[in-house]
Chains A and B, each alone.
Chain A
Amino acid sequence: MDLNALRVLIQWICLIGSNAYLGFFKTKQVYQGPLKSVCVPILNCHSCPSAFFSCPIGTFQHFMTVQKIPFILLGYLSMVGMTVGAMTCGWLCPFGFLQDLMYKIKSVKIQIPKQLSSLRYLMLGLLVILFPIVTQETWFSKLCPMGTLQAALPWALWDPIIPVYGEPAVSSTGFGFLFAAKIIILVFFLGWFVVSKRPFCRTTCPLGAIFGFFNAHSLLRLKVDNQNCKDCFKCSENCPVDLHVGENPNASTCVRCLKCLECEHVKLTVGGLGDKVNFGFLRKKVPSKNKKVDRNG
């Protein structure tokens, strides 16, 4: 099994494993057991009927609305970030996986300008931190397309009587402005997923912004052997976030999918031990292009 097949397998396992609670059919409630105290390092809505774990961004916003610092969550996210950077985005996140799958649909493809990646920090600063502190409302959750896909749509389509409220999940208040806005945002992103590589991860995801910050400092890093690089750009062609790996292998938008390891001149290092530890087993053998390509054209 090559590295990419292993990644896809792990993405499937994570998608199913983190959403495998079937008790909701009986209780008509979200899972309420001890696993909900665990935030998975991925964007996975904890209001999804079958979600086992909590969403770190939803939890973060909750702490902001009650104006408390989420020490455990910050420690946990920092721990993950400083160990593997944004690798969970590339290997575990179901929303990232969905984007990878939808980009395979044949269509016109559009590149995303690099500058738009700064929007993630704006989302994090405004919708996850500032607005929830000021208004006591979880603004990112209100608009999150993953929440719409995993929670809003399933609950709306199923629409059971929720025991706690004694009312249907959605039809009691009808499809209001917020619900309509959520659907429009979701449709917009689903369309964007088809034409661009991981647009949500690169322009919107606040969790990706947090983990991406650690990419340049984490123990697990990528290193390019520029001296022997043949400029074949194989690493960049494969990249799911359109990075020029040779220029900046540890960019904040990198999701550490490790597809670029298909080139023998890109190496994986752990704490600077890359030259001593052999990660060759991760590499799929591909014929290398020996022809030098002119970078300017």
Chain B
Amino acid sequence: MMRWGIFAVAFVIVLVFFLIGDSRNEVLEIQNNGATMCMACIGLE
């Protein structure tokens, strides 16, 4: 039961993280970053 208790607390913290991130439009930022071809990955920078 102890482990489930820790999981529940961590779950709440994660939810708070999601709320904060959502208010800062992080999903859009992740999408824009992933959709831009990374020149470092290709080896041009």
Contact = CB atoms under 8 A, between A and B. Distances in A.
B38 A138 contact: yes
Contacts of B34: 30, 36-37, 39, 46, 51, 53-55, 58-59
Interface string A162-185: 101000011001001011001000
Nearest to A177: B43
B3 to A, nearest CB: 5
For B3, B38, B42, the residue with the greatest tally of chain A CB atoms inside 10 Å of its CB is: B42
Interface of B: 1-4, 6-7, 10-11, 13-15, 17-18, 20-22, 24, 26-31, 33-38, 40-45
A75 interface: yes
Contact of A71 (B11, B20, B31): B20
B44 to A, nearest CB: 6
Contact of B42 (A47, A53, A75): A47
B41 A36 contact: no
Interface of A: 29-34, 36-39, 45-47, 51, 53-55, 58-59, 62-63, 68, 70-76, 78-79, 82-83, 137-138, 141-142, 144, 147-148, 151-152, 155-156, 162, 164, 169-170, 173, 176, 178-179, 182, 217, 219, 271-272
Contact of A217 (B6, B28, B43): B6
A71 B40 contact: no
B1 A272 contact: yes
Given A29-B37, A72-B22, 7 more contacts: A36-B31, A75-B18, A137-B40, A138-B38, A151-B38, A152-B42, A178-B44
B22 to A, nearest CB: 7
B6 to A, nearest CB: 7
A138 B29 CA distance: 16
A179 B27 CA distance: 30
Contacts of A71: 17-18, 20-21, 24, 26
Nearest to B28: A37
B35 A36 contact: yes
A111 B29 CA distance: 41
B45 A137 contact: yes
A55 B33 CA distance: 10
Contacts of B38: 45-47, 58, 138, 141, 147, 151
B43 to A, nearest CB: 4
A40 B7 CA distance: 22
A72 B18 contact: yes
Contacts of A142: 40-41, 43, 45
